[in-house]
Chains A and B, each alone.
Chain A
Amino acid sequence: MTNIRIDHNLKFKTATLGCFLRLPLDKKTLALANILAYMQSNATKEFPGINLQAKTFSNLYNTSLQVFPEVFGNQIVVFYTINFVEPREILDPDYNYEVIMDAFFKVVKEPLFDGQLLELAKRQLEQERKQYYELPANVSLSGFFNTWYRNMPSYQDSVFGDEKTLKNASLEEIKSFFNTLKNAPAFCLGQAQDPDSLTDLVQTQLDWPGYFDDFVVSTLSLPAEENPIEREIQFKSEQAQLLIGYGYDQSLPIYLKQFGGLFLGEYLAGDESAKLFTEVREKLGAAYAIDATNYLNNSLFLISTGISKDKIAAASKAIKMGVKAVQDGKVDEGIFSKAKSALKRNYQISTDRQDLILIQMLANALRGRDYTFVQRIADVDHFKIDKLVEFSQKLYFNESYCLK
């Protein structure tokens, strides 16, 4: 059976479709995937000029085409996604599913292996990489993850991939990578007002062997290695960047690590009444914003903030005390209840976002389940304070990274 699922779109004026191909993560593969993605975004065999390809999609009522790799735990997923205005909203006889899909699959399946195009993609990536590292928040996040995976170099540089490959990859390597990609496990997912017609059209295009393979990954998350470290890096900037990371056991039950992490993030740094928001921003006046995010696929709970350089020590102490209070069972019931309402609201509003619906479909396909937003909301509802405390007690301090 082909790996395809296109759901019925009842409320959006646009349709969305994605072909997702997955490969095991390593730095070199990620770099090659980035180069190929840039090449395909610029031009392809059918549309051999940058201007020609851009105009083709612009002419299809500004159809949005995106090609990029994204890291999910120990996997790279190459995204080929398209979002377009539903033809019945336009009523142009020359604009229909057939012409849109034809253009889309020409891009996905027929890259143009051309030396000039390769060099342009490399230049674009080099510039994007430089611009990415001009922002202190990006420098510190990348530095944090490279330190976190200092003993697992395959998992470092997880945005752009291996720098040498980005500079030196040959056309032959890109061709060979594309052939590997054609055999990688793949899934096509989407949402449209007429899912049956779209499925019929797409089905005929999905002739790569990966669309008939098992797409599910039994263990997606990377383990965290307990090996605490504190690093301070000098950097010329107005603000300091402080990141404090806690690790947890990869084999914790999924319900505990997923919702424990979500609740802890919201409890500590979600809305205005969140614990660290009041401590670090309101009381210390040290920061404009503070984030607490559960990186489920990295077995990492990360707290980060851009902060006044003279308040690093005070903020660091407040963050660690905030986590410790939860570990000691000192949880404010009022803030917990607000965190629960906020998480439920966020899931409810996610059903209004086509991009999030597509990501949920992909996450389900990777994990081999059909876990809906309604079920997620029910699971948030059932989550109790004792579970939050239990999750926090599984956390161990593992890294402090400060760019100042």
Chain B
Amino acid sequence: MKKLDVTTRDYKFGFRAKVIRRPLFAQKFMGIIVDFGGSDPQKLCGGAHFLEHKLFTKKSGDISQRFEEIGASTNAFTTYNETMFYASFTEHWRQVLPLIFELVGTTYFTKSNVTKESKIIAQELAMYQDDPNWQVNYELMQMMFPKTSLAEDLTGTKSSLKKMTPEILQEIYNNNYVSCRMEFVACGGFSENQTKEILREVGKLESKYLISKKVAPKKLSIVNSQKQHNKIIASDLITSRVGIGIKLPDFKKVGLRNSTAQSIFEMMLQAKLGVTSPWFEKMQKQGILNSPMELQVSYTTAGNFATIIGASGKPDLFLKNIKSQLLEVPVTEEAFVFQKKEALAQTIREFDDLSTIAIEEAEYGLENDSFNSASQAIQSLSFNEFYTAVENILDKSDIFTTTLKGKEEAN
């Protein structure tokens, strides 16, 4: 399989930059990823996400408008593990590059702009809460990771949003926005000379804008779950919504890198519960499940977990069947081969999506991993290795469930 063409440079104090060359594409992408996200310890929950919003405000106004002036579009996102700021554009990369560093490397927090932003984020939170899957996920997290950042939405709570101040934001920024916890990535049709120029400029901009200080590496904390493992909640929904949370062990303790373990567990879930599994067809025929479920596997500093969310008019039967399928039925070698083919195709497809591939490469970078080596690890995996890894992970896992009872079921 062809490899992604990546040039990497390490700078002083642990900052790293990568340029991915994808010729013939019109789009160019540049971004900085920060190894600090919603699940990391922070003074107020939602702090990482609040910071993501507020870094766009500078003394001279909204920095997005300066990106717009040169025809670029800028945005950012916060996940459990990281915050990423980026720009998408077709020309003027020399002007975009310093703006990205200014965006991440300077702050302007005032009482008035923080208060105003808390109202906007409250609307963002309200928008998420209007989705029934949000509540299912929320209840699972409350049971699996109580009293941690994971137990609340990444955007925070109504109360934490009101409590946010410029001082708290600055403190969170100073503690986490340090050069050794950041990585720069560019992707597009850059020439070799342009690649060298970008990496040279990045060195200058890193010294100019980023704080260089040593910070302790992030550590996985041990969180005691609630004793309660199953919740049933009445709802206005017509069809019940069912969620299964699987609290997973520290992947290093089962001898796996985070990215490899995540891929293996995703492959297992797809093989056992996905649309190509005989189980899924059986559930459809019995009217227990009509549509595919949402399957997600995550690793964070507050703990690793998988969530499975689906809609069913027969939630009790659904839960019973899914648990036995997960814990009692092994993945066949044939299903494993299918999953490897799917993974290979997915890797190839990602080459054509510049934003996705740049973000993935940056995310892997925070784990001292790379897109190429992570793909290679999965393609060289044997069935025995896969089988053993799945057994080891499942053996140390704990299962939680939430049901939002629909009216169909109540009737």
Contact = CB atoms under 8 A, between A and B. Distances in A.
A237 interface: yes
Residue among B64, B90, B116, B236 with max Cβ neighbours from chain A (10 Å): B90
B330 interface: no
Interface string B103-138: 000000000000010011111101101111000000
A14 to B, nearest CB: 6
Nearest to A351: B26
B71 A341 contact: yes
A355 B12 CA distance: 42
A342 B70 CA distance: 10
Nearest to A133: B238
Contacts of B119: 285-286, 308
A50 B280 contact: yes
B341 A62 contact: yes
A329 interface: no
B290 A124 contact: yes
Interface string B70-114: 111100000000000000111000000000000000000000000
Interface string A1-44: 00000000011111000000000000000000000000000000
Contacts of B62: 272-273, 282
A100 to B, nearest CB: 12
Interface stretch (B219-227, B349-357, B371-379, B386-394): B349-357
Given A51-B277, A55-B338, A128-B291, A271 B345 contact: no
Contacts of B287: 123
A77 B303 CA distance: 47
A127 interface: yes
Nearest to A129: B238
Interface string A94-126: 000000000000000000000010001001100
Contacts of B90: 345, 348-349
Given A128-B291, A288-B123, A349 B27 contact: yes
B290 A352 contact: no
B341 A58 contact: yes
B280 A307 contact: no
A63 B348 CA distance: 12
B275 A54 contact: yes
A404 interface: no
Given A85-B349, A271-B64, A352-B354, A11 B24 contact: yes
A51 B354 contact: no
Contacts, number: 158
B32 to A, nearest CB: 19
B345 A85 contact: yes
Contact of B276 (A54, A131, A285): A54
A15 B123 CA distance: 41
A265 interface: no
B276 A58 contact: yes
A13 B71 CA distance: 28
A307 B123 CA distance: 7
A349 B25 CA distance: 8
A288 B127 contact: yes
A130 B277 CA distance: 25
Interface string B340-366: 011011101101101000000000000
A58 B127 CA distance: 35
Contacts of B129: 238
Contact of B345 (A61, A116, A131, A282): A61
B73 A342 contact: yes
Contacts of B124: 288
Interface string A280-296: 01100111110000000
Given A59-B341, A135-B131, 15 more contacts: A13-B352, A51-B276, A61-B341, A61-B342, A127-B311, A134-B238, A273-B62, A288-B121, A288-B123, A288-B127, A344-B71, A345-B89, A348-B27, A349-B26, A354-B352
Interface of B: 2, 23-27, 56, 62, 64-65, 68-73, 88-90, 116, 119-124, 126-127, 129-132, 236-239, 275-278, 280-281, 284-285, 287, 290-291, 311, 313, 338, 341-342, 344-346, 348-349, 351-352, 354
Interface of A: 10-14, 49-51, 54-55, 58-59, 61-63, 85, 89-90, 116, 120, 123-124, 127-128, 130-131, 134-137, 236-239, 271-273, 281-282, 285-289, 306-308, 338, 341-342, 344-345, 348-349, 351-352, 354
